[in-house]
Amino acid sequence: MTASNPVLPGCHPDPSVCRVGEWYYLVTSTFEYLPGLPVMRSRDLLRWQTIGHVIDRPGMLEFDGIRSSGGLYAPTIRHGLGRFWVVCTLVDRDDPSRGGNFVVTAEQPQGPWSDPVMLDVDGIDPSLAFDEDGRVWMHGARLAADPAWHDQTEVWVREYSPAQRALVGDEHVIWRGAVHGAVWAEGPHLYRIDGEWHLVAAEGGTEFHHAVSVARAAAATGPYQGNKANPVFTHRHLGRRTDVIGAGHADLVQAPDGSWQALMLAMRAADGHHYPLGRETFLCPVEWQDGWPVFAPGEGRLPHAIAAPWATGTALDGSWQPDDRRAGAVLPQDSRWTALRALPAEIARADGDIWRMPVRSATLRDATKVAFLGIRQQHADADVRCVLDVGGLADGESGALVVRQSEQDHAAAVVTRTPAGTVLSVVHVRGGDEHVLAEKRLPDRVQIELRLRARGYDLEFVHDGLAVATVDARQLDASSTGGFLGLWLGACASSAASAPRGELAIMTFEYAPADAAG
Ligand code: 6LW
Q: Given 56, 159, 186, 207, which residue is catalytic? A: 186
Q: Quick one: which atom of ligand 1 is closest to the CA of 205? A: 6
What average pLDDT does the chain have?
95
Report in angstroms the alpha-carbon separations of 444 from 14, 271, 386, 393, 467. Answer: 47, 43, 18, 13, 20
Residue 78 Cβ contacting ligand 1 at under 6 Å: no
> pTM to 2 decimals?
0.96
Q: Which atom of ligand 1 is nearest to the CA of 124?
A: 4
Ligand 1 centroid–CA 78 distance in Å is: 19
The answer to whether the CB of 7 falls within 8 A of the CB of 303 is no
Residue that wins the pLDDT comparison between 314 and 482: 482
Contact 33, 93 (CB under 8 A): no
Whether ligand 1 lies within 6 angstroms of the CB of 42 is answered as no
Query: Has residue 21 got a pLDDT over 90?
Result: yes
The stretch 413-427 carries a mean pLDDT of: 96
- 11 Cβ closer than 6 Å to some ligand 1 atom: no
Atom 1 of ligand 1 has which residue's CA nearest to it? 74
pLDDT tens digits, 179-235: 999 999 999 999 999 999 999 999 999 999 999 999 999 999 999 999 999 999 999
For atom 10 of ligand 1, the residue with the nearest CA is 73
Q: From the CB of 207, is ligand 1 less than 6 Å away?
A: no
248 C-alpha to ligand 1 centroid (Å): 10
**What is the bridge-based pairing of β-strands 71-80 and 100-106?**
unpaired
Interval between CA 107 and ligand 1 midpoint (Å): 28
The predicted structure's pLDDT at residue 96: 87
Residue 450 CA, ligand 1 centroid: distance in Å: 35
Q: Residues 256-281: pLDDT tens digits?
A: 999 999 999 999 999 999 999 999 99
pLDDT surpasses 50 at 518: no
Q: Are strands 338-340 and 421-430 parallel, antiparallel or unpaired?
A: unpaired
Question: What is the distance between the alpha carbons of residues 356 and 352, in angstroms, rounded to a whole number?
Answer: 10
Cα(73) to ligand 1 centroid in Å equals: 6
Please report which helix (H) or strand (E) contains residue 490, including its range: strand 488-494
Q: What is the mean pLDDT of residues 290-304?
A: 97
Kindly state if the Cβ of 205 falls inside 6 Å of ligand 1.
yes
Q: Which atom of ligand 1 is nearest to the CA of 206?
A: 6
Could you tell me if the CB of 184 is within 6 A of ligand 1? yes
Pick the CATH number of 10-305 from 1.10.10.520, 2.115.10.20, 1.10.3720.10, 3.40.50.300: 2.115.10.20
Per-residue pLDDT tens for 152-175?
999 999 999 999 999 999 999 999
- Ligand 1 atom with the shortest distance to the CA of 14: 11
* Averaged pLDDT, 459-485: 97
What confidence score (pLDDT) does residue 1 get? 81
> 327-517: which CATH architecture?
Sandwich (2.60)
Segment 67-74 shows an average pLDDT of: 98
Query: What is the CA 491 to chain-centroid distance, rounded?
Result: 19
Q: Pick the atom of ligand 1 nearest to 29's CA.
A: 11
For the stretch 434-462, pLDDT in tens is 999 999 999 989 999 999 999 999 999 99
User: Measured from the CB, is residue 203 less than 6 Å from ligand 1?
Assistant: no
31 CB near ligand 1 (under 6 Å): no
Predicted confidence at residue 314, as pLDDT, reads 75
Residue whose CA is at the smallest distance from ligand 1 atom 9? 187
Contact 490, 364 (CB under 8 A): no
Report the candidate in 296, 511, 487, 492 with the shortest Cα–Cα distance to residue 413.
492
- Verify whether ligand 1 is closer than 6 Å to residue 209 (CB atom): no
101 lines ligand 1 (CB under 6 A): no
From the CB of 13, is ligand 1 less than 6 Å away?
yes
Beta strands in 117-259 (DSSP E): 117-118, 124-130, 136-143, 153-161, 166-175, 186-193, 196-203, 211-217, 225-226, 233-234, 244-254
Q: How far is the centre of ligand 1, averaged over its atoms, from the C-alpha of 74 (Å)? A: 6
Cα–Cα distance, 278 to 378 (Å, whole number): 9
Q: Domain limits of the chain?
A: 10-305, 327-517
Q: How confident is the model at residue 326 (pLDDT cuts 50, 70, 90)?
A: low
Average pLDDT over residues 479-483: 98
- What confidence score (pLDDT) does residue 323 get? 43
Radius of gyration of the chain (CA): 23
Atom of ligand 1 nearest to the CA of 186: 9
Active site residue 132: no
pLDDT level of residue 318 (50, 70, 90 thresholds): low
Whether 92 is catalytic is no
